[in-house]
Chains A and B, each alone.
Chain A
Amino acid sequence: GDSVTQMEGPVTLSEEAFLTINCTYTATGYPSLFWYVQYPGEGLQLLLKATKADDKGSNKGFEATYRKETTSFHLEKGSVQVSDSAVYFCALHQAGTALIFGKGTTLSVSS
Chain B
Amino acid sequence: DTEVTQTPKHLVMGMTNKKSLKCEQHMGHRAMYWYKQKAKKPPELMFVYSYEKLSINESVPSRFSPECPNSSLLNLHLHALQPEDSALYLCASSPMPAKDNQPQHFGDGTRLSIL
Residues of A within 8 A of B (CB): 31-32, 34, 36, 41-46, 49, 51, 87, 89, 93-99, 101-104, 106
Contacts and interface: CB of A to CB of B under 8 A. Distances in A.
A43 B106 contact: yes
Contacts of B99: 95
B42 A103 contact: yes
Given A44-B43, A101-B42, A103-B42, A34 B48 contact: no
B92 to A, nearest CB: 8
B7 interface: no
Given A36-B106, A46-B105, 18 more contacts: A31-B100, A43-B90, A44-B43, A44-B92, A44-B106, A45-B106, A49-B101, A89-B42, A93-B101, A95-B98, A99-B45, A99-B104, A101-B42, A101-B43, A102-B42, A104-B40, A104-B41, A106-B40
Contacts of B42: 89, 101-104
B7 to A, nearest CB: 13
SS class, residues of chain B in contact with chain A: loop
A10 B107 CA distance: 25
A94 B100 contact: yes
Contacts of A46: 103-105
5 contacts: A43-B90, A44-B92, A95-B99, A98-B58, A104-B40
B100 A93 contact: yes
Contacts of B90: 43-44
Nearest to B2: A43
A98 B56 contact: yes
A94 to B, nearest CB: 5
B48 A98 contact: yes
B108 A49 contact: no
Contacts of A95: 98-100
A33 to B, nearest CB: 10
Nearest to A48: B103
